[in-house]
Amino acid sequence: MTAKEQIINRLKTFRQKEFNNELTFSLLAIFSIIVFLLTLMIIFFIPLFILFAALPFIVILLRNLIVRKSLTQIAKQIEAGFPQLVGYLVNAVELANYPSDAKEGYSPELINAAIEDAQVKLAPIPLTKLINRQKTRTALFGFLFALALLVSCPLFFPNRAKLGFYATFAPNKTPIEFVVAPGNLRVNKDSKVTLQVTINSPFRFREALLILRRHNPPAADKIIKKRLFLQVHTGSIDVQASSEMDYSFKVFNRQSPIYHIGLLKPLALTSLFFKLNYPAYTKRPVETTQAQTISVLPGTKIEVSGIAETKLDSGRIWFSDSTIIPLALSDNKFLGSFTAKKDINFVIRLKDIVGNTNEPEVFKLTIAPDEAPYIKLFLPGRDIDLPVSMKVLLGVNSIDDYGLTNLALYYEKDSVIKKIHLKNVAGRQEDTTYYYWDLANIGFMPGEVIRYYASVSDNDVISGPKLSKTEVFTIRFPTVAEIYSQTTKKTFETKERLEPMAAEQEELGKELDRIDQELKKERRLGWEERNSLENLVSNQKKLLDQIEELKEEVKTALENMFEGLMLDKESIEKLKELERLLSELLPQELKEALRNLAQALENKSPDLKQAMERFKLSQEELKKAIERAVELLKNIEEEEKLKALAKKAEALYQMQKEIEKRIKELPKDSEKLATDENKIKEELESLEKAMEEIAKEMSDKEIAEELSKLLTELSKPKPSAQAMELSQSLAQGDKGNAQQQSQRLLKDLAHLKDALGALAQKLASRRSSEISEKLLNSARDLTTLSFEQERLEDSLKQNFPRALATIFASEEKRLAEAGRALAESLEVLSRKSIKIPPNLNEDIIRALNHMETAADNLQNNNPFDAKKMMQQARSGLDAATQKILTTIAQAQQSGGFGGGMESLLQQLSQLTAEQMMLNQEMQGIPIPIPMPGGLTPQQLAQIERILSKQRAIRQTLEEMRQSLGVEPGLMSSLDGVIEEMKQVERDLSELVVTRELIQRQEKILNRLLDVQRSVRRREFKEKRESEVGKDYPIPPSPILPADLGERKKLLREQLFKALREGYPKDYERLIKRYFESLLNE
């Protein structure tokens, strides 16, 4: 093939490829525009003719395809893209077409040479680079996007897409069916006609258009269009039939048939009213209604009045039970009345003097009963164990639509139901009452359970007051053993579960050592060793999960105790220490090493050996931590058992003291007293047995001997034997004998509780003193060691003989050995108390490493580096000394890790109780103050006392607030309470005694309770020890309710309002269930 043919063929090929690219681009662009316009038409219901808007773009795109480029134009385009062809390619194309007989007479050899030169330069050049494929890809992306948009419409908006399809392609076939009522109708002039339309369609429309044509001859017809909103496919609108009219409804692009409303000429009423006079006790204002369905309370007097178009001759009210009540007539007016007693229908029949009658309309009267009041016992709102204080704070909320009367508390004890009058709430529609229930004087004994509930009645004088009750809750008096064994039991369980974990961890360590040796020996792991290592990783993870599970159990127990009312602060603190101890067993480094080792195994990583080494170190730390935890728990268990004995003896002493008071009433309740004393006897036997067991197991021999000595002192006779004798005397009603025996038993119990308490205190104090002394000694030794290190460091010089270097190195090693002994003693000491952090000797260990490095540098005659290592070692020793002193100081503050909010809690609790008593005193003041006459001198004096007490409470709260310093959140809460108190003081001083004043005092009480709960939770959270890092889901930010806590009250009011609307009974049950579910959210 000649050079000329090659050039021509390449140019034609390039022109064809460029044309194909342009064709593809044009088609994609046209289709993109069409698909996009179709999508817009379907989504926005645009008519089909919008497609014509795309014609100009399509014409432009097609025009570019029609015009075909010449080879010379193609050559110029290529030269513009490749400058090295300029002057060659266009000339070659022109010479290729040069005629042989041209006048210029160019030599064929020259022409062929020029063409060949152009061919040589053109051959290596990729001409396809000049083809703009980017715009084709852009057009393809646009087409795919438009197509995806079109396809996604039915997926995400199926109904709208389907409706758009009908609107675009089949507007007359849109599936819409109109059900119109009342259709064609004839009515009295100016009567109200309800036009209703129901749209039967697979699509849901929000509104319909009413087209109303009023005929007003001789004037032209008036066309009115109104939009009505559809609810569940149905909408209605009231129109006045002042003239004949045609009407129809239109939805989307469909219109209903046209209906006609004509006018009748019967006797018409120009007005009709029902005046509702509710019973006086409801205090509801008189209401007027024209509704066809009337819902009222029983006893409501209904007055019927109206005006007819013409003068009336007669009128009656006909009831569905055949009762007839005549109406009083005056010209064209009528009047009548009746009292609502039951559900009934009635019509009003009128006749004018000409004889025309009205078209009777059926009215429906429904009786909405006065619902029973709502009452909820929200505090404590659950079954509880009796608190140590034997007092329970009750919170009762009650509400009624028309008014409350009496609020009472009922409880069942010894199969007898007893009543406590809480409050007279007459005149209130809503009330929240707090009541401190003291159960110390009702003869409540360990092991017993009382059931209780609150009740309130309303002020219905027509049907009679209705009573509502709360859910029945229980209060259980735990046995003495249960009260004071919770913490000890949890400590014992934790120790028992940790001991086998320590053995299991040791086995895992041995197996890891074996695999490590195999890896060093063979330099690779075989299938069997790899499988063993995978099992080891799995078992290690299970062990960590067990520790995590144990920690969560302790955490849950702690939270339950915090939420509960039973345990004291000391028990909660002990569980906090236990939780912190378990948190220390889950180092993040071990979890990370375990994860890295598992990944290295799975990926067959070459770093497996390094991962095993890191895991081995972390595993060794876990083993030591578990061993430390077990030893610590043994010490804690001994202390807790002794404390539990002391507390149990104290509780038994108080129980016996209560029985002694009741002995004076003998022979009354002798059987009950004997039963209660027998319970004390059983508890004493349990106590004596526990003392014997602890005396045998106690590691502190001196304490064990004193405990045994105490048992010997109480054995003539034992307290349990004395209690048994006393129980017999009580059963026989022997008052004299019983009093003597009770006094003797009380004396022995007093001695027992004091002795056990002293022993428990002595054990804790001795151990704490020993640990403090040893820590101080360690601090002194570290200070001496640091001084010696500094002395050796100062003696060091840059250049000294080799023999002197050996002496210095030997001295440095001696100091390192002394430091190692100190580190080991601190590690042993950390197993004696949970107050000593397990990482107390970390700085010492680092210092030892620096000291050993310094000794090596001295041996190698490198004094400069040795001195640097000595300085770092001395810094580590000083840091360890400081850490020890800090640990001692923290342990001595507030008995260890006690919280700084305890006194604040006690003050808040006292102030809350005083505010509650103050609120109850206000019940004796009439609201509002009666005029004339005002208050009596006694009532004025009572207000003065209340004002004085309120001022004292506020001043105490201000002093407390100043002592807090900066406590975010807590300060603002207290500031709000103080401002409320100041407003109450102003109102009282000005004798502005209103319902708002009472509500403000109740608000103060509620906020004090909230602050108290907030402080308890703050203390609980602040004292929690840190735990290992892990990912936590981020909860949504809490948002204050828009109703500021009034939601439940509003819901209850809406419930009563809904029930007054007169719905059928089945609907009322559904309404109640719906609102109750909202109230319980």
Q: Residue 1019: what pLDDT?
A: 47
Question: Which of 221-230, 605-614, 634-643, 803-812 has the least mean pLDDT?
Answer: 605-614
306 with 328, same domain? yes
Residue (of 809, 775, 773) closest to 792 by Cα position: 809
Q: Residue 675: what pLDDT?
A: 84
Q: Residue 112: what pLDDT?
A: 81
The Cβ of residue 219 has, within 10 Å, a number of other Cβ atoms equal to: 8
Q: Residue 380: what pLDDT?
A: 85
Average pLDDT, the chain: 76
Question: Which of 15-19, 333-337, 814-818, 837-841 has the least mean pLDDT?
Answer: 837-841
Asked if pLDDT for residue 285 goes beyond 80, the answer is yes
pTM: 0.43
State the pairing for strand pair 404-413/430-438: unpaired
Q: Tell me the mean pLDDT in the region 37-53.
A: 69
Residue (of 12, 15, 20) closest to 96 by Cα position: 12
Q: Which of 896, 926, 941 is the last residue of a domain?
A: 896
At 321, is the secondary structure helix, strand, or coil? Answer: coil
Residue (of 13, 5, 14) closest to 112 by Cα position: 5
DSSP character string of 23-70: HHHHHHHHHHHHHHHHHHHHHHT--GGGGGGGHHHHHHHHHHHHS---
651 vs 65 pLDDT, higher one = 651
Percent of residues in the chain assigned helix, strand, coil, to nearest 5: 60, 15, 25
Q: Residue 1036: what pLDDT?
A: 42
In sequence order, what E strands does 596-739 have? none
Structure-token pair, residue 483: 């009260």
828 with 936, same domain? no
Residue 334 lies in a domain: yes
200 with 151, same domain? no
Asked if pLDDT for residue 306 goes beyond 60, the answer is yes
What contacts 937, CB < 8 A, 6 or more positions away? none
CA–CA gap between residue 381 and residue 1051 (Å, rounded): 20
Per-residue pLDDT band for 901 (boundaries 50, 70, 90) equals very low
Q: Residue 1028: what pLDDT?
A: 41
Q: Residue 563: what pLDDT?
A: 45
Structure-token pair, residue 287: 């209401």
**Residues 294/302, Cβ–Cβ less than 8 Å:** yes
DSSP character string of 753-821: HHHHHHHHHHHHHHHHHHHHHHHHHHHHHHHHHHHHHHHHHHH--SS--HHHHHHHHHHHHHHHHHHHH
526 with 384, same domain? no
Q: Residue 1025: what pLDDT?
A: 42
Q: Tell me the mean pLDDT in the region 1032-1036.
A: 41
Per-residue pLDDT band for 928 (boundaries 50, 70, 90) equals low
CA–CA gap between residue 776 and residue 770 (Å, rounded): 10
Asked if pLDDT for residue 341 goes beyond 50, the answer is yes
What pLDDT, in 10s, does the model give residues 245-270? Answer: 999 998 877 888 999 988 766 788 88
Share of the chain above pLDDT 70, in %: 72
Per-residue pLDDT band for 455 (boundaries 50, 70, 90) equals very high
615 vs 792 pLDDT, higher one = 792
**Residues 1023/576, Cβ–Cβ less than 8 Å:** yes
Asked if pLDDT for residue 100 goes beyond 50, the answer is yes
Q: Residue 470: what pLDDT?
A: 93
Residue 230 lies in a domain: yes
CATH of the domain at 470: 2.60.40
736 with 876, same domain? yes
Amino acid at 382: R
Residue 260 lies in a domain: yes
Residue 1038 lies in a domain: no
Q: Residue 433: what pLDDT?
A: 86
Asked whether the bond before 667 is cis by omega within 30 degrees of 0, the reply is yes
Q: Which of 447, 474, 501 is the last residue of a domain?
A: 474
Q: Which of 418, 452, 474 is the last residue of a domain?
A: 474
> Which sign does the torsion angle of CA 149, 151, 152, 158 carry?
positive
Q: Tell me the mean pLDDT in the region 541-545.
A: 74
504 with 629, same domain? yes
**Residue 226: strand pairing partners:** 210
Asked if pLDDT for residue 277 goes beyond 90, the answer is yes
Residue (of 481, 503, 501, 483) closest to 493 by Cα position: 501
What pLDDT, in 10s, does the model give residues 844-880? Answer: 888 888 888 888 888 887 877 888 888 888 888 888 8
Q: Residue 567: what pLDDT?
A: 43
Residue 1032 lies in a domain: no
Q: Residue 1038: what pLDDT?
A: 40
State the pairing for strand pair 259-264/185-188: parallel
Asked if pLDDT for residue 1040 goes beyond 50, the answer is no
598 with 500, same domain? yes
Count of alpha carbons within 13 angstroms of residue 730, beta-carbon side: 27
Asked if pLDDT for residue 621 goes beyond 80, the answer is no
Per-residue pLDDT band for 1026 (boundaries 50, 70, 90) equals very low
Asked if pLDDT for residue 606 goes beyond 80, the answer is no
Tell how many helices (H) and how many strands (E) occur in the chain.
26, 28
Q: Tell me the mean pLDDT in the region 342-369.
A: 87
Residue 92 Cα distances to 89, 746, 825, angstroms: 5, 131, 100
Q: Residue 339: what pLDDT?
A: 92
Angle at 27 between CA 26 and CA 29, to 5 degrees: 65
Per-residue pLDDT band for 631 (boundaries 50, 70, 90) equals low
806 with 756, same domain? yes
CA–CA gap between residue 613 and residue 593 (Å, rounded): 9
Amino acid at 999: Q
Q: How far is CA 980 from the centre of its chain?
A: 29
Residue (of 210, 275, 222, 279) closest to 248 by Cα position: 210
Find the radius of gyration of the CA atoms of the chain: 48
What contacts 235, CB < 8 A, 6 or more positions away? 196, 197, 207, 208, 228, 229
Q: Residue 315: what pLDDT?
A: 93
Residue 32 lies in a domain: yes
The Cβ of residue 489 has, within 10 Å, a number of other Cβ atoms equal to: 16
Residue 1029 lies in a domain: no
671 with 635, same domain? no
Residue 985 lies in a domain: yes
Q: Residue 247: what pLDDT?
A: 93
494 with 470, same domain? no
Q: Residue 1034: what pLDDT?
A: 41
Question: Which of 83-87, 197-201, 408-412 has the least mean pLDDT?
Answer: 83-87
What pLDDT, in 10s, does the model give residues 670-723? Answer: 888 888 888 888 888 888 888 888 888 787 788 888 888 887 877 678 888 888
CA–CA gap between residue 519 and residue 538 (Å, rounded): 19
CA–CA gap between residue 367 and residue 346 (Å, rounded): 14
The Cβ of residue 1010 has, within 10 Å, a number of other Cβ atoms equal to: 13
Q: Residue 554: what pLDDT?
A: 61
Q: Residue 246: what pLDDT?
A: 93
882 with 920, same domain? no
Q: Tell me the mean pLDDT in the region 887-902.
A: 52
Question: Which of 138-152, 608-622, 864-878 has the least mean pLDDT?
Answer: 608-622
Q: Residue 343: what pLDDT?
A: 92
Q: Tell me the mean pLDDT in the region 218-240.
A: 86
642 with 734, same domain? no
**Residues 285/468, Cβ–Cβ less than 8 Å:** no
Residue 74: exposure state from Cβ atoms within 10 A (0-12, 13-18, ≥19): buried
What pLDDT, in 10s, does the model give residues 102-140? Answer: 556 667 777 788 888 888 888 888 888 888 888 888 888
Alpha helices in 67-209 (DSSP H): 71-81, 89-96, 108-122, 133-156, 158-169
Q: Tell me the mean pLDDT in the region 1052-1063.
A: 54
Helix axes 995-1022, 970-989, angle to 10 degrees: 160
**Residues 221/211, Cβ–Cβ less than 8 Å:** no
- Tokens 């807790």 map to which residue? 640
Q: Tell me the mean pLDDT in the region 410-426.
A: 86
DSSP character string of 875-942: HHHHHHHHHHHHHHHHHHGGGTT--TTHHHHHHHHHHHHHHHHHHHHGGGS-SSPPTTT---HHHHHH
Asked if pLDDT for residue 731 goes beyond 70, the answer is yes
Per-residue pLDDT band for 407 (boundaries 50, 70, 90) equals very high
What is the span of the domain harbouring residue 329?
269-367
Residue 814: exposure state from Cβ atoms within 10 A (0-12, 13-18, ≥19): middle
Per-residue pLDDT band for 902 (boundaries 50, 70, 90) equals very low
What pLDDT, in 10s, does the model give residues 168-206? Answer: 666 677 788 889 998 888 777 788 899 999 988 877 788
Most confident of 266-280, 492-506, 682-696, 907-921: 266-280
If one counts the domains in the chain, the total is 8
Residue (of 303, 335, 197) closest to 254 by Cα position: 197
Q: Residue 566: what pLDDT?
A: 42
